[in-house]
Copies of this chain bind each other. A is one copy, B any other.
Amino acid sequence: MSRNRILIVDDEPAIREMVAVALELADFDVLEAENAQRGHEIIVDERPDLVLLDWMLPSVTGIELARRLKRDETTNEIPIIMLTAKSEEDNKVQGLDVGADDYITKPFSTRELISRIKAVLRRASSAAAEKAIEVEGLCLDPVSHRISANDEPVDMGPTEYRLLEFFMSHQERAYSRTQLLDQVWGANVYVEDRTIDVHIRRLRKALAPFGFDRFIQTVRGTGYRFSVKAAKAS
Residues of A whose CB lies within 8 Å of any CB of B are 37, 41, 44-45, 59-60, 64, 68, 87, 89, 92-93, 96, 102, 105, 116, 119, 122-123, 143-146, 152-155, 157-158, 172-174, 209, 219-222, 225, 227, 229-233
Contacts and interface: CB of A to CB of B under 8 A. Distances in A.
State the main secondary structure of chain A at its contact with B. Answer: mixed
A31 to B, nearest CB: 15
21 contacts: A37-B102, A44-B123, A45-B122, A45-B123, A59-B89, A59-B105, A60-B93, A64-B93, A68-B96, A143-B174, A144-B172, A144-B227, A145-B174, A145-B219, A145-B222, A146-B227, A152-B233, A153-B230, A155-B233, A158-B220, A209-B233
A121 to B, nearest CB: 12
Contact of A119 (B41, B60, B87, B89): B41
Contacts of A93: 60, 64
